[in-house]
Amino acid sequence: MRGFRDDIVIATTFGFDLSDPRRVGVALDSRPDHIREVTENSLRHLRTDHIDVLYQHPSTRTCRSRTWRARSAS
């Protein structure tokens, strides 16, 4: 991204605990330490010094269903 980093927007997500492959997409982790860890991993993998938008996966089934209802209503 060297040379054009300021011309793009980088967005990534956090919230899932990916430490157990059997529970990917099910286990949730939004602790500050986990957010810091996954953000640092993203920065390293993307080879950049900042992320423009950091999205949090909904942390509960109720939150997810409300999100989907709100999306489908629009």
Tell me the helices (H) and strands (E) count for the chain, helix number first.
Answer: 2, 2
Cα 3 to Cα 6, 46, 48, 62: the distances in Å are 8, 14, 11, 43
The whole domain housing 59 covers 5-69
The model's pTM: 0.62
Asked whether residue 23 is domain-assigned, the answer is yes
Q: What is the model's pLDDT at position 52?
A: 93
Q: What is the mean pLDDT of each run of 10 residues along the chain (74 residues)?
A: 84 78 70 86 90 78 52 54
Please tell me the total count of domains within the chain.
1
Asked whether residue 74 is domain-assigned, the answer is no
Asked whether residue 20 is domain-assigned, the answer is yes
Residue 7, token pair as written in the block: 């011309």
Q: What is the model's pLDDT at position 44?
A: 93
